[in-house]
């Protein structure tokens, strides 16, 4: 697997956008299109349901050399051997953690990504030794309808100040991607603009071409 610093396109298997599709087949399409990381996100689902979903996807991502990211469930990520676990502010800092090393023994721990919505949160995430951070939501997004957009100003701040790999996320599509890249982003997360596409692999390729 390529280093996180060399990853560019971060995609999702989100149960809110699955629409009856087979998750393993969707994972193949995302991998074929050039995804570097694929997150399994199933907000509100029981952990057993997340386990079944991730278990179906993991052989596909592993064969393609793509990192599998488990959203929220660190214990499950470690149990399955997923490469990454992504945690929100509430799952990490609000739960009393200040450093990634407090989560579990280093040898058993996946890489950790942390969501951030403001410069002070990004600074705390870097100090906590997060392997990567998410910067967003840049634009309004249906995946988090109550979250206020952080706008391109936070992307510009991240480009100037963040010293770990970071991904711009939230409402990013081909129509606004040039603005995101011009603000300094080199890595992006894309949810609906890919999952709602008629041809998922082709949609990924269009984003890859823009990313270079």
- The half-sphere exposure of 16 on its side-chain side, counting CA atoms within 13 A, is 11
**Model confidence pLDDT, tens digit, residues 7-21:** 999 999 999 999 999
**Model confidence pLDDT, tens digit, residues 96-110:** 999 999 998 777 789
Asked if the model's pLDDT at residue 161 lies above 90, the reply is yes
**Model confidence pLDDT, tens digit, residues 37-87:** 999 999 999 999 999 999 999 999 999 999 999 999 999 999 999 999 999
User: What's the whole-number average pLDDT of the chain?
Assistant: 95
Query: For the chain, which domains are there?
Result: 4-211 (3.20.20.70)
């Amino acid at each position: 697997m390529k280093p996180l610093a060399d990853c560019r396109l971060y995609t999702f298997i989100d149960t809110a956008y699955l629409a009856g599709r087979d998750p393993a087949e969707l994972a193949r399409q995302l991998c074929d299109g050039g995804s570097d990381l694929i997150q399994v996100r199933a907000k509100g689902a029981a952990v057993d349901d997340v386990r079944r979903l991730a278990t179906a996807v993991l052989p596909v991502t592993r064969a393609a050399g793509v990192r599998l990211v488990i959203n929220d469930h660190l214990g499950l990520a470690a149990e399955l051997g997923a490469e990454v676990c992504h945690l929100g502010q509430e799952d990490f800092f609000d739960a009393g953690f200040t450093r990634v090393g407090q989560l579990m023994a280093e040898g058993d721990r996946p890489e950790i990504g942390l969501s951030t919505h403001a410069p002070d949160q990004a600074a705390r995430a870097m100090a906590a030794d997060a392997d990567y951070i998410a910067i967003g939501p840049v634009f309004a997004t249906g995946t988090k309808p109550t979250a206020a957009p952080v706008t391109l100003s936070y992307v510009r701040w991240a480009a100037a100040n963040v010293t770990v790999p970071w991904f711009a996320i939230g409402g990013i599509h081909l129509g606004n991607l040039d603005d995101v890249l011009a603000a300094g982003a080199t890595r992006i997360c894309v949810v609906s603009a890919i999952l709602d596409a008629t041809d998922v692999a082709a949609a990924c390729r269009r984003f890859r071409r823009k990313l270079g």
